[in-house]
Structure 1
Amino acid sequence: MSYRQLPLHDHQIPASPIVLGCMRFGGDWDGAPITEDLVVEGHQAVEAALEIGINHFDLADIYTRGKAEHVFGRILSERNGLREQIIIQSKCGIRLVGDDEGPQRYDTSGAHIIKSVDGILSRLGTEYLDILLLHRPDPLAHPQEIGEALSKLHQAGKVRNFGVSNMGSEQIRLLQMHSRMPFIVNQLEMSLDKIGFVEAGVTVNRAQAKENVFPYGTMEYCQAERIQLQAWGPLAQGRFTGRAIEGQRPEIEATAELVARIAKERGVTSEAIVLAWLMKHPAGIQPVIGSIRPERILACRDAAQVELTRYEWYELYSSSCGRRM
């Protein structure tokens, strides 16, 4: 697996082209305690990731209501030297449950960001995060307040780099105006099923543009500003890699068959083809695979080595959107 140099500050660990998303670590999203079986399950997922060269791990303070970070913290404590060999990013900015201050909501107030990071570091048992992402756009966000909070976290050595998730170019631009630290990551939903990131460009001045919700210009802005684009949900919940797809739109079934055919011709897994389609984009998209199953993680092994032709890429794109270019 080839590595790329993210614009990371303070150290220069090359990042793997695929990230392991740890949303499923820790079991269900309930108050049940963390069992040893769940810790073992996490160890097995991390081992599979390391085996295929993944050194970049994605978490969030809300994942399984904090249990994902607790489990990952156990893994770090039980694998000597692992922390220094990997890139850990986590996210904050969503309050899952209501409290005395209000309902479930987004919260990027400075106080909440700082408190969230302290909680993240405590659960992980580490002194710093390589990257902190703001999880969702907050309509009540104060950019200057956010910038001041991020500066405090960086100066305290708690967070080395910053990014965002699910934001368009103008939202990032506004935040960047008030932050001394550059935003180096933007994580968005992109896959062979969620093709809005392509449609936003190719449907300009066409009727189909009205149906697309992906923020126009975001791909180009991130490329121009050297912001690493990451794709959450890149395997489309298995729709093209063996999951039962009865009742799905016809394009899903046709595209799944096409993925299987190309995978057979290339001698790789369907997962490798689905990820390679994303990774061919000139933005250098970094897929964040969300499986905890070792066999599913291992199935992604060859994605970075598959170089789809333009014909194959457009064939897959046309199949997914259900029309010719």
Structure 2
Amino acid sequence: MGPVKTQQLGRTGLEVSSIVLGLMRIDSLDDAAIDALVRTALDEGVTVLDHADVYGGDHLCERRFAEAVKLTPSERERVLIQSKCGIRDGFFDFSTEHIVSSVDASLRALQTDHLDLLLLHRPDALVEPEEVAAAFDQLEAAGKVRRFGVSNHTPYQQELLKTAVRQPLEVNQVQLSITHSSLISTGVASNMEGLEQSVHRDGGMLEHARIHGTTLQAWSPFQGGFFTGVFLGDREKYADLNDVLDELADAHGVTPTGIATAWITRHPADIQVVLGTTKPERVREAVAGSDVRLSRQEWYRLFTAAGSLVP
């Protein structure tokens, strides 16, 4: 068991924690619980806090965070606050006007003068790269956003943005867990006809990120599938996986949560783990696992116990 693992953020030169505290569910907590959750993360060395305009609806989680957690100026300088925009009621919107207005509303809600990182939340089918570029330039020039990235974007969707956007896209936040691992498992089973695992869904997202120095952030790191419930402790669906998680947790002196975290942080792509938990203890368990370096054999044991094929 070690301290929180740290890594570089994109090509910024910034050293950040491999654990990100996601704050999408804090609207169900009272102020004291929100403060305790965030303070636990900060005490454990977590330096990245993740928000979005839609969390809680209409910037609610951003407001609740700012009301409950009174960061001192020195604390604010030590953390990286990121938020996302682009999801609206039933549609996506990467227009200049919406991006800028969403960031302005996030800054008011968060009671801060800048975002350290802004992510485009989900791909807008009607995206015009020039509109995104105009928004990014305006926000950067005003000092409102320091760095930029995307979420759930394929390689070519990122390349399309880059035809006009001049700022580096430092981050791509994507869904990844041991049991929802297609961006990894597809490559392992490449060129195997008739096998579901070999079907490409993301156009080489993992390899693109490594080539271009983009940091991947893994959301829902303990989810079985697309919001289908966590695999931790679910012996009805994931008995073999939980057996291996328990065994490796004992071997490394952490919890199964720690091992599930370590499976992601062990990857040489330096993937950050975005925790959506509201429980301080789960934060401590993930931090403890972040610096566990699984052997190749251990990593692949988890991979295959979760149902992925190693040909």
Per the normalisation by structure 2, the TM-score is 0.91
Distance 1:230 1:144, change over 3 A: same
Shift of 1:5: 2.6
Partner of residue 40, structure 1: 32
Q: Choose the corresponding residue for 1:88, options 81, 86, 92.
A: 81
- Partners of 1:199 and 1:212 within 8 A in 2: no
SS of the equivalent of 1:57 reads strand
Deviations 1:142-175 (A, max 9, x none): 1111111111110111000000000110000110
1:280 aligned to 2:293?
no
Q: Which amino acid aligns with 2:78?
A: Q
- Partners of 2:170 and 2:213 within 8 A in 1: yes
- Partners of 2:190 and 2:198 within 8 A in 1: no
Q: Which shows bigger deviation, 218-227 or 125-134? A: 218-227
- Partners of 1:8 and 1:161 within 8 A in 2: no
Shift of 1:76: 4.5
| Aligned pairs, number | 302
Distance 1:213 1:205, change over 3 A: closer
Structure 1: 5+ residue stretches without partners: 28-36, 97-103
Shift of 1:78: 5.4
- Partners of 2:35 and 2:69 within 8 A in 1: no
1:180 aligned to 2:181?
no
**Counterpart mapping for 1:91-130 below 5 A:** 91-96=84-89, 104-130=90-116
Partner of residue 17, structure 1: 18
Deviations 1:33-85 (A, max 9, x none): xxxx6211110110111121101010000001122100221244354532111
CA distance in 2, matches of 1:2, 1:278: 12
Higher relative contact order by CA 8 Å / sep ≥ 6: 1 or 2?
A: 2
Write out the 4+ residue segments of structure 1 that deviate beyond 6 Å after TM superposition: none
Q: Choose the corresponding residue for 1:153, options 117, 128, 139.
A: 139
- Partners of 1:199 and 1:209 within 8 A in 2: no
Partner of residue 316, structure 1: 302
CA distance in 2, matches of 1:23, 1:236: 15
- Partners of 1:185 and 1:228 within 8 A in 2: yes
CA distance in 1, matches of 2:30, 2:9: 31
SS of the equivalent of 1:236 reads coil
Shift of 1:262: 0.9
Q: Which amino acid aligns with 1:239?
A: V
- Partners of 1:60 and 1:91 within 8 A in 2: yes
Q: Choose the corresponding residue for 1:56, options 13, 35, 48.
A: 48
- Partners of 2:189 and 2:310 within 8 A in 1: no
SS of the equivalent of 2:74 reads coil
Shift of 1:130: 0.3
CA distance in 2, matches of 1:187, 1:145: 21
Matched residues, percent identical?
A: 36
Shift of 1:214: 3.4
CA distance in 2, matches of 1:172, 1:301: 30
CA distance in 2, matches of 1:322, 1:186: 24
SS of the equivalent of 1:137 reads coil
Deviations 1:267-300 (A, max 9, x none): 1111111011111112111010110111111111
Shift of 1:316: 0.9
Q: Which amino acid aligns with 2:262?
A: A
Partner of residue 216, structure 2: 229
SS of the equivalent of 2:26 reads coil
- Partners of 1:76 and 1:83 within 8 A in 2: no
Q: Choose the corresponding residue for 2:249, options 260, 263, 267.
A: 263
- Partners of 2:19 and 2:272 within 8 A in 1: yes
Q: Which shows bigger deviation, 154-163 or 261-270? A: 261-270
CA distance in 2, matches of 1:210, 1:291: 29
Structure 2: 5+ residue stretches without partners: none
- Partners of 1:262 and 1:273 within 8 A in 2: yes
Q: Which amino acid aligns with 1:51?
A: D
Partner of residue 291, structure 1: 277
